[in-house]
Amino acid sequence: MRIDDLSRIPLTQSAEKADQAAEKRALDKGTIASGADHAEVSQLAKALAPRDPQRLEQLRLDVQTGKYDVPAEVVAKAMIDAHSKS
């Protein structure tokens, strides 16, 4: 016994149509410039970039080996302090 869903559109066609529609909307909004992707990094993101790569690597290793331990009270206090400042 065979059951076919005649109203089903093959995935490749529906995905292609969705891509075309998204591209058309982006072109209408003027967000695509000759097909090239573009990203900007904010000043805040630049300020938050790690300044000490050795310290960052040491933290990564500590976390990976399970040696990095921060008491929950310290984390909670930092979260409350950060929230109360804003």
Q: Which two tokens stand for residue 19?
A: 């891509």
Q: Select the more confidently predicted residue: 25 or 56.
A: 56
How high is the pLDDT of residue 45? 76
> Model-level pTM?
0.33
Q: Which two tokens stand for residue 15?
A: 């995905």
**Averaged confidence pLDDT in the chain:** 76
Classify residue 61 as left (phi > 0), alpha (psi -120 to 50) or beta.
Answer: alpha
Nearest to 49 by CA among 57, 61, 60, 41: 41
Q: Select the more confidently predicted residue: 27 or 53.
A: 53
How high is the pLDDT of residue 48? 78
Instruction: For the chain, give every domain's residue range.
Output: 11-33+50-85
- Mean pLDDT within 22-32: 62
> What whole-number distance in Å separates Cα of residue 15 and Cα of residue 27?
18
State yes or no: pLDDT of 9 exceeds 60: no
